[in-house]
Structure 1
C-alpha cells in the first residue's frame, strides 16, 4: 500500500457513468486507492466481468472488497432462510475469488426476539455448514468480513463481530463506525470514545489491515436511520477523531466511504488524513 490508511467509495463514484467492474481506473485517477463493489440485492456479476474488475484493479493499484447481499441472516429461524444465506455467501465467495476481493463484507443477521447468545450459537453452526459447502465447491480464496450493525435488533455489535472473527479462520471484521455510533445512540463523540473499540479488536485479533466503513449518520431509539454527508455537521461521528486514533496507534486501515457522496467525501477524508500525518 502507498500509505497506512487508504480510502475509497462504497460502490461506483457518484459521477461515474461506466460499468461498475471497470471503475478502478476512474477511482485511481480521482486519487483514491480502494473500491467496495456492491452486490446488495444478489450476486449478479459473472466470471468474465469479475475477472476484468480484477485486471483493472491490479493495473490501477486499487484494493477491491465486495459487499455481499443484504438478505443474509446467519441465525434465521427457518432452515430455508439459513440455506439461502449460505447460498448468498457462497455466491459472494465465488465472485470474490474471480475479482480478487480481499474482503467479503456482509451483515450477520438479526436476533429475532431471541437472546444474543442463542443467535450467536446458531450463527456459529451456520458458518460451520458454510465452510463445508465451500470446501465441496472448491472455493479457497476468501475472507469473510462480518460488519458491525447499526440497529439494536441486529446481531453485530463490536463484541459479537470480534467473537465471530476470533472463532473462525478466513474471518476478519468490518468495523462500521457509523453503525457503532448509531447503535450506541451517539456513542462516538470524542477521540477517547474509540478506545474501547480498538482495545476489543487488539485483545482478540491479529489484523494486518483493518477494513472500515465510515459515514455521518442519523439515529433514533432503535439505532441507524439515515446516512449523511461529511458536510452535514449536525450528525456524527467526526472523521477527525477516527483518523487521529488510527495515526496515533499505527493502524493500517482501508476506510470505505458510505456517505451519499461516497467518492467525493472519500477524497475529503484522504485530504484530512494527509494533513494530519
Structure 2
C-alpha cells in the first residue's frame, strides 16, 4: 500500500483571519491536510470550541495534533515546577480529547544541575505521576509525543526521546529534524543521516512509528550555534539545513506514513512547497 505523507502548518496559517474552530476549512482549501494547534503559551481553549475544532478537522479530513505549553519541565529541580508541568499536560490531554488530536507534542525539560541520566529518571517519575492522575480523572484518549529538542541543555536527544516512548504507554515520538540537526551542530547532511534516524526509530520503536502508525514530524530550516538551536528560517534560505528533499525521498522509499508540520516563518506557504516537492518525488519514482 502506498505510504501517505500529510503536510500542514504549526498554528493558524498566516493568511487565515477567521475563528480557529473553522481553520481546517481554510487548510483543506489550500490543499493541505494537517494542522498543529498551538497551546504553547497555555491551554486556553474551552470544551465547546475544542469539540467544534475537532468536528471541523474531521469534516475536512485534516489530521490534527496539538503542541502543549512551553513551560513544561518534567526534569525540574523544584517540586512545585514539576507539579505545574504535570497539570499543564493534564490540561493538554483534556483539550486534545475534545478536539480529537492524535498527538500532544511537548518538550520534556532541561538538564539544569542534573546529569542526563538523573534528568531522565526525574522525568520518568513525573510521567508515572501524570499517567496515574489521568487515569483517576478518566481521561483515556491521548498520545503524548515528546519532541526531539534543539538545545544541548535540554532533555530530548533522539536516544532520550526513544527511551521515554518505549518506557510508557500512550507515548510516541515527535521527530523535529531541524532540532536534531541543530543539536548535532549541523549533523543532518542528506539521505544517509535520515536513513540512520529512521532506521533507529523503526528498530527501537517498531509499530509505534511505522505502518500502520504515523510518524509525527516537525520541519524547518534552522540556524544554530555551539549551544544548539538559534532561529528558524524559511525553506528558500538554502544556506541553512537540514535538507528537505532527501528526507522526503527516504520516507517514500521506506514506505513511511508521516505527518510533517511546517515550522518555518512562512507556515502554509512552505507547507505547500513541501507538498510540491513530495509530489515531484512521487512522480519521478512512478509511485
**TM-score calculated relative to the size of structure 2:** 0.95
Distance in 2 of aligned mates of 1:188 and 1:164: 23
- 1:7 is matched with which residue? 7
- Deviation at residue 196 of structure 1 after TM alignment: 2.1
Distance in 2 of aligned mates of 1:3 and 1:164: 26
- Deviation at residue 224 of structure 1 after TM alignment: 0.2
Q: Aligned match of 1:234 in 236, 239, 249?
A: 239
> Are 1:248 and 2:253 an aligned pair?
yes
Matched residue of 1:105: which SS?
Answer: strand
> Are 1:259 and 2:261 an aligned pair?
no
- 1:65 is matched with which residue? 65
Contact conserved, 2:3 with 2:255, CA < 8 A, in 1? no
Aligned pairs for 1:123-138 (under 5 A) are 123-138=123-138
Matched residue of 1:182: which SS?
Answer: helix
Distance in 1 of aligned mates of 2:103 and 2:157: 19
- Deviation at residue 238 of structure 1 after TM alignment: 0.8
Distance in 1 of aligned mates of 2:73 and 2:277: 36
| Structure 2 stretches lacking a partner, 5+ long | 283-287
- 2:90 is matched with which residue? 90
Structure 1 stretches of at least 4 aligned residues deviating more than 6 Å after TM superposition: none
Distance in 2 of aligned mates of 1:113 and 1:241: 38
Contact conserved, 2:8 with 2:35, CA < 8 A, in 1? yes
- 2:285 is matched with which residue? none
Distance in 2 of aligned mates of 1:175 and 1:233: 21
> Are 1:268 and 2:265 an aligned pair?
no
Contact conserved, 2:68 with 2:106, CA < 8 A, in 1? yes
- Deviation at residue 248 of structure 1 after TM alignment: 1.1
Over residues 4-56 of structure 1, what are the superposed CA-to-partner deviations in whole Å (9 max), with x where a residue is unaligned? Answer: 11100000001101122220000000000000000011000000000000110
- 1:39 is matched with which residue? 39
- 1:119 is matched with which residue? 119
- 1:30 is matched with which residue? 30
Matched residue of 1:35: which SS?
Answer: strand
- 1:78 is matched with which residue? 78
Distance in 2 of aligned mates of 1:3 and 1:202: 15
Aligned pairs for 1:157-236 (under 5 A) are 157-205=157-205, 206=207, 207=209, 208-236=213-241
- 2:110 is matched with which residue? 110
CA RMSD of aligned residues (A): 1.2
Over residues 77-125 of structure 1, what are the superposed CA-to-partner deviations in whole Å (9 max), with x where a residue is unaligned? Answer: 0000000000000000000000000000000000003210101111111
Contact conserved, 2:3 with 2:252, CA < 8 A, in 1? no
